[in-house]
Amino acid sequence: MTFSILLILIGIVLALLVSYVLGIIVIVVGLALLLLPRLGAGRTTRA
């Protein structure tokens, strides 16, 4: 299991059990780690 998916799962548990705001922050960080490498790889640099 990748770290970003683990962060998303931890964020869901935090949002349900502990703090809604803290859980949302952890979920957003996990989504950013999951999506940013894919978005960066899609770009091509042209000289």
Entry pTM: 0.73
- pLDDT number for residue 38: 72
Decide if 44 is inside a domain: no
Domain range holding 28? 3-33
Q: How far apart are CA 7 and CA 40, in angstroms?
A: 20
Decide if 38 is inside a domain: no
Find out whether 12 and 25 touch, Cβ atoms under 8 Å: no
Statement: residue 13 has pLDDT above 90: yes
% pLDDT > 70, the chain: 79
- pLDDT number for residue 21: 92
- pLDDT number for residue 46: 61
- pLDDT number for residue 36: 82
Angle between helices 3-17 and 20-42 (to 10 degrees): 160
Statement: residue 29 has pLDDT above 90: yes
Decide if 42 is inside a domain: no
